[in-house]
Structure 1
Amino acid sequence: MPAAVLIPCRLRILIIGKKEIMDSYQHILLAVDVSEHDDQVIRKAKHLADIFHAKLSIIHVLDDIPMPDTAYGTIIPLHEVSSYELLEKEKSSFMQIGNRLGVDASCRWMVWGVPEEEIVRIAEREHIDLIIVGSHGRHGLALLLGSTANSVLHHAKCDVMAIRLREETGREQSIRENGERSITNLNPEIA
Structure 2
Amino acid sequence: MYKHILFATELNEQKSYIEDKVAQLQQFTKAKISIIHVIEPLPTAYYGGAFGVVPGPDPIGSLGNEKILEERAKEALKPLAKRLNITEQNLHIPIGHISEKILAFAEKNNVDLIITGSHGVHGLRLLLGSTANAILHSAKCDVLAVRCK
**TM bracket (short chain):** 0.7 to 0.9
1:35/1:90 contact within 8 Å kept: no
Tell whether the 8 Å contact from 2:39 to 2:69 is kept in structure 1 after alignment.
no
**In the alignment, what sits opposite 2:38?**
61
- Within the candidate set 137, 144, 156, 2:120 is matched to 137
5+ long unaligned stretches in structure 2: 45-56
Instruction: Write the letter of the residue equivalent to 2:125.
Output: A
1:73-99 alpha-carbon deviations (Å, 9 max, x no partner): xxx96x788876555332210222212
Shift of 1:35: 3.7
**Distance between the aligned counterparts of 1:126 and 1:83, measured in 2?**
24
Contact residue 70 and residue 93 of structure 2 kept, 8 A: no
Q: Could you list the runs of 5+ residues in structure 1 that have no partner in the other structure?
A: 1-23, 68-75, 167-191
Which of 101, 107, 112 matches 1:118?
101
> Which has the higher Rg, Structure 1 or Structure 2?
1
* Equivalent pairs, count: 135
What root-mean-square deviation, in Å, do the aligned CA atoms of Structure 1 and Structure 2 show?
2.4
Contact 2:114 2:143 in 1 (8 A): yes
Tell me the CA shift for residue 144 of structure 1: 1.1
Using the aligned pairs only, state the percent identity: 40
1:32 aligns with 2:9: yes
TM-score (norm 1): 0.63
With a CA cutoff of 8 Å and minimum separation of 6, indicate the structure with the bigger relative contact order. Answer: 2
Which residue of the other structure, out of 94, 101, 105, is the alignment partner of 2:88? 105
Provide TM-score, normalisation by structure 2. 0.79
Measure the CA separation in 1 of the matches of 2:70 and 2:43. 9
